[in-house]
Structure 1
Amino acid sequence: MANIGSAEQMRDPNFTPPLAVAIPLGIQHVLAMFVSNVTPAIIVAGAAGFGFGSNSPDFPELLYMIQMAMLFAGIATLFQTIGMGPVGARLPVVQGTSFAFIPIMIPLVAGKGVDGLAALFGGVLIGGLFHACLGMVIGKIRFALPPLVTGLVVTMIGLALVKVGIEYAAGGVPAKASGSASYGGLLSWSAALVVIFVTLAVKFFTRGMLSISAVLIGIVVGYVYCMMVGMLPPTKIAASWNNAAVFALPQPFKYGFEFSAAAVIGFCLMAFVSAVETVGDVSGITKGGAGREATDKEIAGATYADGLGTAVAGVFGALPNTSFSQNVGLIAMTGLMSRHVVTFGAIFLIICGLIPKVGGVIRTVPIEVLGGGVIVMFGMVVASGISMLSDVVWNRRNMVIFAVALSFGLGLQLEVMNLPAGAPNALQHLPDTLRILGASGILPAALIAIVLNLILPEDLPDEATDEVSGGLAGHGTGSLTGE
C-alpha cells in the first residue's frame, strides 16, 4: 500500500489512486459485503412463500429481488460517495441491504406471496423518507439512543434471526412445513457445517482480503461440496441460468403501493436504529482512516443518503439500505480513505444488478449452504450487540432497564412469532397494526428501553442498593460481576 500515495493523500477522501489499484480495491469492498447484501432479499422472499425452484411461477420475483438488492446497494453507495447537495457523507461509506428490518418485514409478508409486497414496499418508501428527515436532527436525538438501547436492539435483532439460520441449515422452511424426511438430515447439516468450518478457518488462519471475505469463501466451498455430493445437480444450475435474462431494468412500483400503518410505523421506528448505526460507521471510518472525528455535516449527509437510498429502493422493489460495518474495518486495514475507490465498487454492484443472470447463479446456492453462512452472520449480529453493551455502566438502574425491556421483547418474540398462523397468542386482542409491530419483540423492547432510560433517575434511592437475588450487582463498565 506504500506506493499508492503519500500519508496525507491516503487520509484524503477526495484522493483518487491509480485505476489499477482503485478498481481492485473497490471490488474488494463489494466482495466483503456481497453475501450479507443479498441474504435479506432471499429471507424475505422465502417468508413470503416464493418458490425456490427454477420452474416455480414465483421464481422471477425472487430473481428480481436479488437483482434489486445489488442494484440499489450500488446506487445508495453512490449517494454517499458522490453526494448531491446536503445528501451524502462524501466518504467511503458502503451501503447494503439492512438485516435490522428483517424481523419487521417477515410478519408483513408471511405466506402472502406477491400480495404482501405492496404494503412492504410502501413502508420502505415512507420509512426511507422519514429516515432522510432524521438527518436534520440526528445530532440532537442521539442522547435518547445510548449503548444500552442500541446494544439491546442489535442483540434482539440477532436473536430474532438465528432461528432462520438453523432452519436453513436443516433444509429450509418449505421442507420443514411439508414434513419432509430430508429436513434435518445428515446431508443437509454436512453442507452447512462445511460452510461454517471453512469460514472459521479462513477467518482466523489467513490475512488481508481472504480473511475479510471468509463468509463468501465458505459459501463458495459449500457450493462446490453440494455439487460433489449430488445436492446441486448441473441441470438445476443450467435451468436457473437459462431462465434469467441477460439484461433488465428496474420497474417502478412493480408490486404496487399500499399504505399499511403497521409497515409505516415499523419502518419509521427502525429508522432510528439504522440512523444510529450509520453514525457509528461514519465515525469509525473517519477515526480508522483519518484519525479524526466525523463532522456534523458528514453525519447529517450520511443520514440523508441512508434515508434517500432506502426510499428510492422502495420505489423499485428493493429492501431498506444502511451502511455496512464490515467495510469500516476494511478501510482501517488498508488505511485508504478514498471515496472514489468505493465509487468503483458501487459501479460494479450496479452492473451486477442490471444482469439478472447474476441473480440466477446466486439463487442456485442450496438453502443449506446459505444456512451455514447466515448462522455465522446472525451470530455476529448478536455479538455486535453484546459488544455495544460492553460500553454500558452496569449499575442497578441500567440492569433493571435492560431486564424489563429484554423480558418483554424476547418473551413476545418467542411466544408470538413461533406459533402457527391463527393460533391464540399473547397479542391476539390487539388491533392488527399493534399486533404486527409487537410480534417482532424488537420494537416493544426498544420503546421500553428508551422510555425507561429517559424517565428513570440516574441515581437510585438508598434503599435500592440492597443486593439483588443471586448477587448480580452491577459494578463497572462492561461487567456484570466486576472484580
Structure 2
Amino acid sequence: MHSEEVHLGDDRKDLIVGIEDRMSLKEYIIYGFQQVLVESSALTFPVATGLGLGLPKETIAYMVQAYLIGAGLVTITQSSRLLKLPCVQGPAAVFISVMITVGNTLGVAAAWTGMIIGAILSTLLSWPLGWWGKLRPIIAAPPVYGPLVTLIGLSLTGIVIGLIIGKPGTPNFGSGYNFFLAAVTFLIATVLTIYFKRGILRFGAILIAVGVGTIFAAVSGNVNFDSVGKAAWFGMPQLLPFGWEINTAAIVIVFVGYLIAIVESIGNYVLLGEVMGGQKMDEERINRGILGESVGSIVAGLIGGAGTTSYAQNIGAISITGIGSRHVITASGIIVLILGFIPKVGATVASIPPAVLGGIYILTWGMLIMQGIRVLGRMKLSNLNMIIAGTTFMTGMGAYFIPPQFLATLPPVGKAILSTGLIVGTIVGMTLFIVFKMILRVEEEGKSASTDNEAC
C-alpha cells in the first residue's frame, strides 16, 4: 500500500546551529527565553479551560502554575534525555475542549482522573508495547489528520465567543467594550506577526499583545490585580487538587484526546527531525518521544496540569532563526519550570481580561484551523481520501448539533462521547482509514493537490 503521511515542511531548511551543537550560557538564556515568548499556551490555555469550567480565579491561577510545571518538566526531559530534539512541549489545544466538555458533563474530578489514567494508558502503549511508532501510518495520514486538526480549531470557536461576550451576570456581559478590547489585542498581535519577521517583536507578538490589552483594560478600570499582591513568591504544587473519581466515559474521551495530541506530536517530530535536522525518526525514537510526553502528562495531571504535545510554532521560530540546538530548548524548559513555582505569575495571568484572551485566540486558533486545511490541500485527491476526510469532518461537526433532548436519553458514556465532536470525528476517521486502507487495501488513482492547482 502506498503510504501517505503528514509532512508540514516544504523543503529541507539547513540549521545554522545544529541539533547537537552547544552554545554559551548567555546564548542559552537569550534563545531559551525567546522560545518561551514564541509559545505562551502554557500561560493562556489553563485560563481558557478554567473559565470554561466556571472555576474561581484563585483556582485558575493555580492551574497556570501546574501547566507551567508540567510543560517545563516534559520539555527538559524530551530535549535532554528521551527524544533528543529541540521540541518545546506544552498543554495540547485539544484538551481545552475535552476537559471543558468532560468537566461540565461528568465533573471536574472525573475529568482530571481521566487525564491521569489516559496518560498511563498512553505510557503503556509507548513502552513496553511500542504501539505508537507502528501506528504512525494511520494517525499521520492526511485524510485523518487534516480534518482532526481543523476540528480542534472549530471546536474551540464557542470558547472564544464566550470569552469575548463574557459570562451572564457579570458587569461587562455583552458589552461593546469587550469586543473593542478583543479587536485591539487581535490587531496588535496580527500587525506584529505580519510586519516583523524576527526579533522580540515577532517572537513575542502574542505576549506583547496580551500585555498591551491588559494594560489598556487596567487604565480603564476593568482589571483587578489584588490577587497578585496577595500571592506568594514561591509555592509548591498540590497533589490531586481536583480530587479523584474514576469514570469510564471520562477515561475514554480524554484518551482519544491524547490520541489527537500524539498525532500532532508525531507530525512535528518528523518535521523537525527528518525534514529540518536530517535525523532518522524510526519507530523506537517516536515511542521514546511519546513515552516522555505520556509520563510527563501523568505528573502534570497529578498536580492539576494537562496532557502535553510538541509545538509547531516553536519549530517555525527555529526555521526563521536557524538556531536548532536542543540544549537551547532545555534552557527554555528550565525557565518555564522556574516560572511554575512562582504563584504571582499564575495570579497575574489569571487577572487577564477574558476578552483579551478571546482576541488572541481568534488569531492563534484561526491559524490552527488553517493548518488543518493546509494538510488537506496537500492530500492526494482520490475519492477514498476525500470520503474519509469529508465523513470525518461532517460527523465531527454534526455532533455539535445533536439535540439536547436526544443526548438526555443516552447513558452517561454515550452522552459524553457524542457531546464531543472531536472524539466522534476521530473514531469515524480512524475506523474508515483502517477498514478501507489497511484491511481491504483499496487503491485509488488520484491527482495531488499541487497538480490540480497547477492545472488551474
TM-score using structure 1 length: 0.84
Shift of 1:460: 8.2
Query: Counterpart in 1 of 2:93?
Result: 99
CA gap of 1:61–1:182, structure 2 versus 1, over 3 A, is: closer
Query: Counterpart in 1 of 2:175?
Result: 185
Supply the distance in 2 between the matched residues of 1:396 and 1:427 (Cα, whole angstroms): 33
The answer on whether the counterparts of 1:11 and 1:289 sit within 8 Å (CA) in structure 2 is no
Q: Provide structure 2 residue ranges, at least 5 long, that are not aligned to the other structure.
A: 1-13
The answer on whether the counterparts of 1:288 and 1:332 sit within 8 Å (CA) in structure 2 is no
The answer on whether the counterparts of 2:114 and 2:251 sit within 8 Å (CA) in structure 1 is yes
Query: Counterpart in 2 of 1:21?
Result: 27
The answer on whether the counterparts of 1:47 and 1:109 sit within 8 Å (CA) in structure 2 is no
Supply the distance in 2 between the matched residues of 1:365 and 1:348 (Cα, whole angstroms): 21
Supply the distance in 2 between the matched residues of 1:428 and 1:120 (Cα, whole angstroms): 20
Map Cα deviations across residues 39-66 of structure 1 (whole Å, 9 max, x no partner): 2211221122223xxxxxxx32121111
Letter in 1 for 2:358: G
The answer on whether the counterparts of 2:58 and 2:347 sit within 8 Å (CA) in structure 1 is no
Letter in 1 for 2:231: A
Q: Secondary structure at the match of 1:252?
A: coil
Matched ranges for 1:318-333 at <5 A: 318-333=305-320
Supply the distance in 1 between the matched residues of 2:151 and 2:31 (Cα, whole angstroms): 34
Task: Indicate the percent of aligned positions where both proteins have the same amino acid.
Answer: 27
Supply the distance in 1 between the matched residues of 2:450 and 2:144 (Cα, whole angstroms): 14
Supply the distance in 1 between the matched residues of 2:347 and 2:171 (Cα, whole angstroms): 28
Query: Counterpart in 1 of 2:5?
Result: none
Supply the distance in 1 between the matched residues of 2:315 and 2:91 (Cα, whole angstroms): 16
Letter in 2 for 1:124: M
The answer on whether the counterparts of 1:132 and 1:307 sit within 8 Å (CA) in structure 2 is yes
Supply the distance in 2 between the matched residues of 1:351 and 1:460 (Cα, whole angstroms): 52
Letter in 1 for 2:342: I
Shift of 1:305: 0.6
Letter in 2 for 1:389: L
Letter in 2 for 1:71: I
Map Cα deviations across residues 396-431 of structure 1 (whole Å, 9 max, x no partner): 222222332322221111335xxxxxx51x333221
Matched ranges for 1:439-450 at <5 A: 439-450=419-430
Query: Counterpart in 1 of 2:64?
Result: 66
Supply the distance in 2 between the matched residues of 1:479 and 1:183 (Cα, whole angstroms): 50
Query: Counterpart in 2 of 1:420?
Result: none
CA gap of 1:140–1:288, structure 2 versus 1, over 3 A, is: closer
The answer on whether the counterparts of 2:382 and 2:447 sit within 8 Å (CA) in structure 1 is yes
The answer on whether the counterparts of 2:396 and 2:423 sit within 8 Å (CA) in structure 1 is yes
The answer on whether the counterparts of 1:285 and 1:331 sit within 8 Å (CA) in structure 2 is no
Shift of 1:330: 1.6
Shift of 1:293: 3.9
Query: Counterpart in 1 of 2:9?
Result: none
Query: Counterpart in 1 of 2:157?
Result: 162
Supply the distance in 2 between the matched residues of 1:377 and 1:258 (Cα, whole angstroms): 33
- Aligned mate of 1:142, from 93, 116, 136: 136
Map Cα deviations across residues 268-305 of structure 1 (whole Å, 9 max, x no partner): 22222222211111222224542344344432211111
Supply the distance in 2 between the matched residues of 1:371 and 1:321 (Cα, whole angstroms): 22
Query: Counterpart in 2 of 1:269?
Result: 256
The answer on whether the counterparts of 1:49 and 1:111 sit within 8 Å (CA) in structure 2 is no
Shift of 1:26: 0.6
Query: Counterpart in 1 of 2:434?
Result: 454
Shift of 1:29: 0.9
Shift of 1:240: 1.6
Shift of 1:12: 3.9
Q: Secondary structure at the match of 1:268?
A: helix
The answer on whether the counterparts of 1:405 and 1:445 sit within 8 Å (CA) in structure 2 is yes
Between 349-358 and 275-284, the greater mean CA deviation after superposition = 275-284
CA gap of 1:324–1:186, structure 2 versus 1, over 3 A, is: same
Map Cα deviations across residues 139-190 of structure 1 (whole Å, 9 max, x no partner): 21122221110111111111110121122122x2x2xx33x67433221111
Query: Counterpart in 2 of 1:110?
Result: 104
For the pair shown, the structure with the greater C-alpha radius of gyration is: 1
Letter in 2 for 1:276: V
Q: What is the RMSD computed on CA atoms of the aligned residues?
A: 2.4
Letter in 2 for 1:446: T
The answer on whether the counterparts of 1:392 and 1:478 sit within 8 Å (CA) in structure 2 is no
CA gap of 1:475–1:350, structure 2 versus 1, over 3 A, is: same
Supply the distance in 2 between the matched residues of 1:230 and 1:8 (Cα, whole angstroms): 47
Letter in 2 for 1:371: G
Letter in 2 for 1:79: T
Q: Secondary structure at the match of 1:10?
A: coil
CA gap of 1:434–1:479, structure 2 versus 1, over 3 A, is: farther
Query: Counterpart in 2 of 1:30?
Result: 36
- Aligned mate of 1:226, from 217, 226, 234: 217
Q: Secondary structure at the match of 1:101?
A: helix
CA gap of 1:294–1:366, structure 2 versus 1, over 3 A, is: same
Residue 154 of structure 2 corresponds to residue 131 of structure 1: no
Query: Counterpart in 1 of 2:52?
Result: 47
Q: Secondary structure at the match of 2:83?
A: coil
The answer on whether the counterparts of 2:15 and 2:276 sit within 8 Å (CA) in structure 1 is no
Q: Secondary structure at the match of 2:309?
A: strand
Letter in 1 for 2:49: V
Q: Provide structure 1 residue ranges, at least 5 long, that are not aligned to the other structure.
A: 1-6, 52-58, 417-422, 466-473
CA gap of 1:12–1:201, structure 2 versus 1, over 3 A, is: closer
Shift of 1:386: 0.9
Q: Secondary structure at the match of 2:90?
A: strand
Shift of 1:390: 1.7
Q: Secondary structure at the match of 2:94?
A: coil
TM-score using structure 2 length: 0.89
- Aligned mate of 2:18, from 11, 17, 27: 11
Supply the distance in 2 between the matched residues of 1:333 and 1:288 (Cα, whole angstroms): 15
Letter in 1 for 2:183: L
Map Cα deviations across residues 214-268 of structure 1 (whole Å, 9 max, x no partner): 2222111211221233323xxx21x121231221111222222221111211122
Query: Counterpart in 2 of 1:54?
Result: none
Supply the distance in 2 between the matched residues of 1:480 and 1:217 (Cα, whole angstroms): 40
Residue 192 of structure 2 corresponds to residue 202 of structure 1: yes
Query: Counterpart in 2 of 1:3?
Result: none
Query: Counterpart in 2 of 1:336?
Result: 323
Map Cα deviations across residues 114-145 of structure 1 (whole Å, 9 max, x no partner): xx332122111111122223331222112222
